[in-house]
Amino acid sequence: MHELDAGIVVIGNEILSGKTVDTNSPFLAKELREIGVTLKRVVVIPDELDIITETVRDFHRQFDIVFTSGGVGPTHDDITIEGVACALERQVICHPVLEEKLRSYLNGRPANSAYLKMAEAPEGAELIEDGAVRFPTIKVENVYVLPGIPDIFRQKFLALKSRFAADPYYLKVLYTREYESVIAGFLNETLREYPEVMLGSYPKNNDPEYRVKITFESKDKHYVDRAFQHLITLLPEGCVVRTEG
């Protein structure tokens, strides 16, 4: 199965100013990891057309899958659609399917310019329908345009998730009482023996249970198991608090 990688473009002045905390990219990072997609980069950028265009164009060329978050509402600073269209050298159109859905949603109320702005899409975009989501997700080439509102962002991604399934990552975790400085040599030796394993070491201060969390990841389950057991044989007796996976 082809190895897929991804990039996330988070768009919004409110994120950069600290008014809003981005929860979409951590959620997406975790979801992508579970289905075997390698997240390569996350970037937060302002609501500025030139920056959106340049960033989306760059991500589009670098990664198999690109997700944008934010900037798709009815107000003046919602310019993600225009930015994606510019990045992929397309025109912005009022998509007839989106317009029809908006008018149905309005149920006879007038569709002002703010509502019609939400019917915009880059020319040639694919609309991905899902029964659980009121409005379809816009996809242009390898770029998926998602809203910034966390609940809707999550709902839309979960409706898309099966599209991206690749070989899953396998994870094992070990917690130790020793300081990182004590076990660093053992970690290095494990990596020399198992260079393809993704080995992470995460110290934690002032925790009565453990001092370092160590993670092992690979798409080869047996390789993870062997690397994990190798490190355990190297560690001082009694230093392992618990394991997971």
Same domain, 84 and 124: yes
Pairing of strands 212-218, 170-176: antiparallel
How many angstroms separate the CA atoms of 69 and 102, rounded?
Answer: 21
Mean pLDDT of 25-49: 96
pLDDT of residue 228 exceeding 60, the answer is yes
Residue type, 160: L
Q: Which position has the higher pLDDT, 116 or 40?
A: 40
> How far from 5 is each of 59, 102, 237, CA to CA, in Å?
11, 34, 39
Domain harbouring 34, CATH code: 3.40.980.10
pLDDT of residue 137 exceeding 60, the answer is yes
Residue with tokens 């199965």: 1
Name the 3-class secondary structure at 239.
coil
Domain C-terminal end among 164, 199, 229: 164
Domain C-terminal end among 107, 130, 164: 164
Helix axes 80-87, 49-62, angle to 10 degrees: 50
Helices then strands, counting H and E runs in the chain, come out as 9, 12
> How far from 215 is each of 169, 173, 174, 175, 176, CA to CA, in Å?
12, 5, 6, 9, 11
> How far from 25 is each of 21, 66, 166, 197, CA to CA, in Å?
10, 12, 19, 24
How many angstroms separate the CA atoms of 215 and 47, rounded?
Answer: 37
- pLDDT tier at 2, thresholds 50, 70, 90: low
Same domain, 151 and 174: no
Mean pLDDT of 152-170: 91
- pLDDT tier at 165, thresholds 50, 70, 90: confident
Which of 80, 61, 64 is closest to 72 using CA atoms?
80
Q: Which domain range does residue 17 map to?
A: 5-164
Domain C-terminal end among 164, 182, 214: 164
| pLDDT one-digit tens code per residue, 171-182 | 999 999 999 999
pLDDT of residue 218 exceeding 60, the answer is yes
Same domain, 152 and 234: no
How many angstroms separate the CA atoms of 30 and 183, rounded?
Answer: 27
Residues 6+ apart with CB under 8 A from 76: none
Number of domains forming the structure of the chain: 2
Query: So what's the pLDDT on residue 101?
Result: 85
Residue with tokens 């053992």: 186
How many angstroms separate the CA atoms of 215 and 131, rounded?
Answer: 38
How many angstroms separate the CA atoms of 69 and 131, rounded?
Answer: 21
Same domain, 68 and 123: yes
Same domain, 65 and 144: yes
